[in-house]
Structure 1
Protein backbone atom coordinates (compact mmCIF):
# COMPACT_ATOMS: atom_id res chain seq x y z
CA UNK A 1 0.00 0.00 0.00
CA UNK A 2 2.82 2.43 0.81
CA UNK A 3 4.18 2.11 -2.73
CA UNK A 4 0.79 3.02 -4.24
CA UNK A 5 0.47 6.00 -1.89
CA UNK A 6 3.97 7.27 -2.63
CA UNK A 7 3.36 7.01 -6.40
CA UNK A 8 0.11 8.96 -6.04
CA UNK A 9 1.04 11.39 -3.25
CA UNK A 10 -0.61 14.42 -4.89
CA UNK A 11 -3.89 12.56 -5.33
CA UNK A 12 -3.82 11.37 -1.72
CA UNK A 13 -3.18 14.96 -0.61
CA UNK A 14 -6.30 16.02 -2.53
CA UNK A 15 -8.22 13.17 -0.92
CA UNK A 16 -7.02 14.18 2.56
CA UNK A 17 -8.16 17.75 1.98
CA UNK A 18 -11.59 16.52 0.88
CA UNK A 19 -11.92 14.15 3.84
CA UNK A 20 -10.88 16.85 6.31
CA UNK A 21 -13.43 19.28 4.90
CA UNK A 22 -16.28 16.74 5.03
CA UNK A 23 -15.55 15.10 8.38
CA UNK A 24 -18.90 16.01 9.99
CA UNK A 25 -20.96 15.23 6.90
CA UNK A 26 -23.37 12.32 7.48
CA UNK A 27 -22.74 11.22 3.89
CA UNK A 28 -18.97 11.50 4.23
CA UNK A 29 -18.25 7.92 3.25
CA UNK A 30 -20.26 7.88 0.01
CA UNK A 31 -19.11 11.37 -0.94
CA UNK A 32 -15.49 10.42 -0.24
CA UNK A 33 -15.77 7.27 -2.34
CA UNK A 34 -17.27 9.28 -5.20
CA UNK A 35 -14.56 11.93 -4.90
CA UNK A 36 -11.78 9.33 -4.70
CA UNK A 37 -13.03 7.53 -7.79
CA UNK A 38 -13.19 10.85 -9.59
CA UNK A 39 -9.56 11.72 -8.87
CA UNK A 40 -8.02 8.22 -9.11
CA UNK A 41 -10.30 6.96 -11.89
CA UNK A 42 -11.16 3.87 -9.85
CA UNK A 43 -11.17 2.56 -6.27
CA UNK A 44 -8.37 0.04 -5.79
CA UNK A 45 -8.08 -1.77 -2.47
CA UNK A 46 -5.32 0.58 -1.27
CA UNK A 47 -7.60 3.60 -1.68
CA UNK A 48 -10.47 1.82 0.04
CA UNK A 49 -8.27 0.91 3.01
CA UNK A 50 -6.93 4.46 3.19
CA UNK A 51 -10.44 5.93 3.24
CA UNK A 52 -11.48 3.42 5.90
CA UNK A 53 -8.55 4.41 8.10
CA UNK A 54 -9.30 8.11 7.68
CA UNK A 55 -13.05 7.78 8.33
CA UNK A 56 -12.79 5.00 10.90
CA UNK A 57 -14.86 2.63 8.74
CA UNK A 58 -14.03 -1.04 8.22
CA UNK A 59 -12.64 -2.18 4.91
CA UNK A 60 -15.44 -4.76 4.66
CA UNK A 61 -18.10 -2.02 4.84
CA UNK A 62 -16.34 0.01 2.15
CA UNK A 63 -15.79 -3.06 -0.03
CA UNK A 64 -19.51 -3.89 0.29
CA UNK A 65 -20.54 -0.41 -0.88
CA UNK A 66 -18.03 -0.36 -3.73
CA UNK A 67 -19.28 -3.73 -4.99
CA UNK A 68 -22.96 -2.96 -4.38
CA UNK A 69 -23.17 0.24 -6.42
CA UNK A 70 -22.69 -0.22 -10.17
CA UNK A 71 -21.12 3.25 -10.48
CA UNK A 72 -18.01 2.28 -8.52
CA UNK A 73 -15.19 0.34 -10.14
CA UNK A 74 -12.11 -1.34 -8.68
CA UNK A 75 -10.34 -1.50 -12.02
CA UNK A 76 -8.83 1.36 -13.97
CA UNK A 77 -10.97 2.13 -17.01
CA UNK A 78 -10.08 3.52 -20.40
CA UNK A 79 -10.30 7.14 -21.43
CA UNK A 80 -13.57 6.41 -23.26
CA UNK A 81 -16.07 4.41 -21.22
CA UNK A 82 -18.60 2.89 -23.58
CA UNK A 83 -21.76 1.37 -22.14
CA UNK A 84 -24.25 -0.52 -24.30
CA UNK A 85 -27.78 -0.77 -22.97
CA UNK A 86 -29.17 -4.30 -23.08
CA UNK A 87 -32.51 -3.42 -21.49
CA UNK A 88 -35.67 -4.77 -23.09
CA UNK A 89 -36.39 -1.77 -25.36
CA UNK A 90 -32.79 -1.65 -26.60
CA UNK A 91 -32.57 -5.44 -26.98
CA UNK A 92 -35.70 -5.47 -29.14
CA UNK A 93 -33.96 -2.92 -31.36
CA UNK A 94 -30.67 -4.77 -31.85
CA UNK A 95 -28.40 -3.64 -29.01
CA UNK A 96 -26.72 -7.07 -28.85
CA UNK A 97 -25.61 -6.57 -32.48
CA UNK A 98 -24.30 -3.11 -31.52
CA UNK A 99 -22.33 -4.66 -28.67
CA UNK A 100 -20.89 -7.35 -30.97
CA UNK A 101 -19.85 -4.73 -33.52
CA UNK A 102 -18.16 -2.64 -30.84
CA UNK A 103 -16.34 -5.73 -29.56
CA UNK A 104 -15.13 -6.48 -33.10
CA UNK A 105 -14.03 -2.92 -33.89
CA UNK A 106 -12.35 -2.21 -30.55
CA UNK A 107 -10.93 -5.71 -30.13
CA UNK A 108 -12.17 -6.38 -26.58
CA UNK A 109 -15.15 -8.05 -24.94
CA UNK A 110 -17.69 -6.39 -22.68
CA UNK A 111 -16.13 -5.83 -19.26
CA UNK A 112 -12.64 -5.27 -20.66
CA UNK A 113 -10.35 -2.33 -21.34
CA UNK A 114 -8.00 -1.99 -24.28
CA UNK A 115 -4.29 -2.40 -23.44
CA UNK A 116 -3.63 1.22 -24.45
CA UNK A 117 -6.30 2.35 -21.91
CA UNK A 118 -8.24 4.15 -24.64
CA UNK A 119 -11.54 2.22 -24.44
CA UNK A 120 -13.50 0.33 -21.80
CA UNK A 121 -16.57 -1.54 -22.94
CA UNK A 122 -19.45 -2.39 -20.63
CA UNK A 123 -23.06 -3.42 -20.96
CA UNK A 124 -25.92 -2.82 -18.57
CA UNK A 125 -29.55 -3.75 -18.19
CA UNK A 126 -30.77 -0.17 -18.60
CA UNK A 127 -29.16 3.25 -18.83
CA UNK A 128 -32.48 5.01 -18.20
CA UNK A 129 -32.70 6.81 -21.54
CA UNK A 130 -35.27 4.71 -23.37
CA UNK A 131 -36.56 7.41 -25.71
CA UNK A 132 -35.01 6.09 -28.96
CA UNK A 133 -33.40 2.67 -28.60
CA UNK A 134 -30.86 1.23 -29.02
CA UNK A 135 -28.78 3.40 -26.72
CA UNK A 136 -25.08 3.57 -25.93
CA UNK A 137 -23.29 6.03 -23.69
CA UNK A 138 -19.72 7.21 -23.96
CA UNK A 139 -18.42 8.92 -20.84
CA UNK A 140 -22.03 9.61 -19.89
CA UNK A 141 -23.03 11.17 -23.22
CA UNK A 142 -26.11 9.43 -24.62
CA UNK A 143 -26.20 8.25 -28.23
CA UNK A 144 -29.68 7.06 -29.19
CA UNK A 145 -31.22 5.30 -32.16
CA UNK A 146 -27.80 3.78 -32.95
CA UNK A 147 -27.26 1.56 -35.96
CA UNK A 148 -24.25 -0.60 -36.73
CA UNK A 149 -23.38 1.85 -39.50
CA UNK A 150 -23.07 4.68 -36.92
CA UNK A 151 -20.44 2.95 -34.81
CA UNK A 152 -17.27 3.66 -36.87
CA UNK A 153 -18.03 7.39 -36.94
CA UNK A 154 -18.80 7.46 -33.21
CA UNK A 155 -15.49 5.72 -32.48
CA UNK A 156 -13.67 8.08 -34.86
CA UNK A 157 -14.97 11.01 -32.81
CA UNK A 158 -13.28 9.53 -29.73
CA UNK A 159 -9.85 10.67 -30.90
Structure 2
Protein backbone atom coordinates (compact mmCIF):
# COMPACT_ATOMS: atom_id res chain seq x y z
CA UNK A 1 0.00 0.00 0.00
CA UNK A 2 1.34 3.44 -0.87
CA UNK A 3 1.59 6.62 1.23
CA UNK A 4 -1.77 8.40 0.81
CA UNK A 5 -3.81 5.19 0.57
CA UNK A 6 -2.13 3.84 3.70
CA UNK A 7 -2.67 7.14 5.55
CA UNK A 8 -6.33 7.21 4.50
CA UNK A 9 -6.87 3.64 5.71
CA UNK A 10 -5.25 4.41 9.06
CA UNK A 11 -7.33 7.59 9.43
CA UNK A 12 -10.59 5.76 8.68
CA UNK A 13 -9.69 3.01 11.19
CA UNK A 14 -8.88 5.59 13.87
CA UNK A 15 -12.15 7.43 13.24
CA UNK A 16 -14.14 4.20 13.50
CA UNK A 17 -12.45 3.35 16.80
CA UNK A 18 -13.23 6.81 18.20
CA UNK A 19 -16.90 6.80 17.16
CA UNK A 20 -19.18 6.57 20.21
CA UNK A 21 -21.79 3.84 20.64
CA UNK A 22 -25.23 4.40 19.19
CA UNK A 23 -27.28 7.01 21.01
CA UNK A 24 -30.32 6.07 23.01
CA UNK A 25 -33.47 8.08 23.59
CA UNK A 26 -35.76 6.22 25.99
CA UNK A 27 -39.37 7.42 26.36
CA UNK A 28 -42.06 6.01 28.62
CA UNK A 29 -45.07 4.85 26.61
CA UNK A 30 -47.04 2.56 28.91
CA UNK A 31 -47.16 1.40 32.52
CA UNK A 32 -48.95 -0.82 34.96
CA UNK A 33 -48.67 -0.82 38.74
CA UNK A 34 -45.72 -3.24 38.42
CA UNK A 35 -43.93 -2.40 35.13
CA UNK A 36 -43.02 0.72 33.17
CA UNK A 37 -42.48 0.32 29.43
CA UNK A 38 -39.93 2.47 27.64
CA UNK A 39 -39.06 2.56 23.95
CA UNK A 40 -35.74 3.65 22.46
CA UNK A 41 -37.00 6.19 19.96
CA UNK A 42 -33.70 6.08 18.08
CA UNK A 43 -34.55 2.53 16.93
CA UNK A 44 -37.94 3.26 15.38
CA UNK A 45 -36.96 4.26 11.84
CA UNK A 46 -37.51 1.41 9.35
CA UNK A 47 -34.64 0.45 7.06
CA UNK A 48 -35.70 -1.35 3.88
CA UNK A 49 -39.21 -1.67 5.34
CA UNK A 50 -38.14 -3.26 8.64
CA UNK A 51 -37.80 -1.44 11.94
CA UNK A 52 -35.73 -3.07 14.67
CA UNK A 53 -37.15 -1.41 17.73
CA UNK A 54 -35.88 -1.83 21.30
CA UNK A 55 -38.11 -1.49 24.29
CA UNK A 56 -37.59 -2.02 27.99
CA UNK A 57 -39.54 -3.36 30.92
CA UNK A 58 -38.51 -1.61 34.14
CA UNK A 59 -39.98 -2.36 37.57
CA UNK A 60 -42.33 0.51 38.47
CA UNK A 61 -41.08 0.57 42.07
CA UNK A 62 -37.68 0.13 43.60
CA UNK A 63 -34.59 1.73 44.98
CA UNK A 64 -32.77 4.19 42.71
CA UNK A 65 -29.65 2.04 42.94
CA UNK A 66 -31.46 -1.07 41.63
CA UNK A 67 -30.96 -0.96 37.86
CA UNK A 68 -32.73 -4.28 37.18
CA UNK A 69 -34.66 -4.33 33.91
CA UNK A 70 -34.97 -6.21 30.66
CA UNK A 71 -34.95 -5.15 27.04
CA UNK A 72 -36.49 -6.75 24.01
CA UNK A 73 -35.58 -6.17 20.39
CA UNK A 74 -38.53 -6.43 18.04
CA UNK A 75 -38.25 -6.57 14.24
CA UNK A 76 -41.35 -5.16 12.54
CA UNK A 77 -42.19 -5.41 8.84
CA UNK A 78 -44.30 -2.37 8.13
CA UNK A 79 -45.57 -3.69 4.78
CA UNK A 80 -47.60 -6.51 6.33
CA UNK A 81 -47.63 -5.53 10.02
CA UNK A 82 -45.83 -8.66 11.12
CA UNK A 83 -43.18 -8.78 13.82
CA UNK A 84 -40.87 -11.10 15.68
CA UNK A 85 -38.68 -10.88 18.74
CA UNK A 86 -35.00 -11.07 17.81
CA UNK A 87 -33.37 -10.72 21.22
CA UNK A 88 -34.15 -10.40 24.92
CA UNK A 89 -31.60 -9.15 27.45
CA UNK A 90 -31.88 -9.19 31.25
CA UNK A 91 -29.92 -6.77 33.44
CA UNK A 92 -29.23 -7.25 37.14
CA UNK A 93 -29.37 -4.78 40.05
CA UNK A 94 -25.96 -3.35 39.12
CA UNK A 95 -27.09 -2.73 35.51
CA UNK A 96 -24.81 -5.44 34.11
CA UNK A 97 -26.15 -7.89 31.55
CA UNK A 98 -27.06 -11.20 33.18
CA UNK A 99 -28.71 -13.09 30.33
CA UNK A 100 -29.13 -12.74 26.56
CA UNK A 101 -31.43 -14.81 24.41
CA UNK A 102 -31.24 -14.46 20.64
CA UNK A 103 -34.31 -15.60 18.76
CA UNK A 104 -34.96 -16.29 15.11
CA UNK A 105 -38.63 -17.17 15.18
CA UNK A 106 -41.28 -16.90 12.52
CA UNK A 107 -42.95 -13.61 11.63
CA UNK A 108 -46.36 -13.26 13.30
CA UNK A 109 -49.23 -10.80 12.94
CA UNK A 110 -48.77 -7.95 15.40
CA UNK A 111 -51.87 -7.28 17.49
CA UNK A 112 -53.26 -3.78 17.02
CA UNK A 113 -53.40 -3.04 20.75
CA UNK A 114 -51.07 -3.49 23.66
CA UNK A 115 -47.33 -3.11 23.88
CA UNK A 116 -46.46 -4.70 20.53
CA UNK A 117 -49.19 -2.79 18.70
CA UNK A 118 -47.89 0.44 20.21
CA UNK A 119 -44.35 -0.30 19.05
CA UNK A 120 -45.67 -1.07 15.55
CA UNK A 121 -47.52 2.28 15.48
CA UNK A 122 -44.41 4.14 16.60
CA UNK A 123 -42.26 2.53 13.91
CA UNK A 124 -44.62 2.17 10.95
CA UNK A 125 -46.95 5.14 11.37
CA UNK A 126 -44.22 7.57 12.43
CA UNK A 127 -45.91 8.16 15.77
CA UNK A 128 -43.78 8.88 18.80
CA UNK A 129 -44.58 8.86 22.52
CA UNK A 130 -45.38 12.36 23.69
CA UNK A 131 -43.40 12.04 26.87
CA UNK A 132 -40.14 13.12 28.42
CA UNK A 133 -37.15 11.04 27.34
CA UNK A 134 -33.92 9.91 29.02
CA UNK A 135 -30.54 9.09 27.45
CA UNK A 136 -30.28 5.82 29.40
CA UNK A 137 -32.50 3.52 31.41
CA UNK A 138 -30.28 4.21 34.44
CA UNK A 139 -31.15 7.93 34.06
CA UNK A 140 -34.85 7.05 33.97
CA UNK A 141 -34.49 5.01 37.18
CA UNK A 142 -32.42 7.74 38.88
CA UNK A 143 -35.10 10.30 38.01
CA UNK A 144 -37.69 8.39 40.04
CA UNK A 145 -38.85 5.95 37.34
CA UNK A 146 -40.86 8.56 35.55
CA UNK A 147 -42.73 9.95 38.55
Per chain length, whose mean CA-contact separation is higher, i.e. which structure has more relative contact order (CA < 8 Å, sep 6+)?
2
TM-score (norm 2): 0.22
Higher strand share: 2
Q: Between Structure 1 and Structure 2, which shows a larger proportion of helix residues?
A: 1
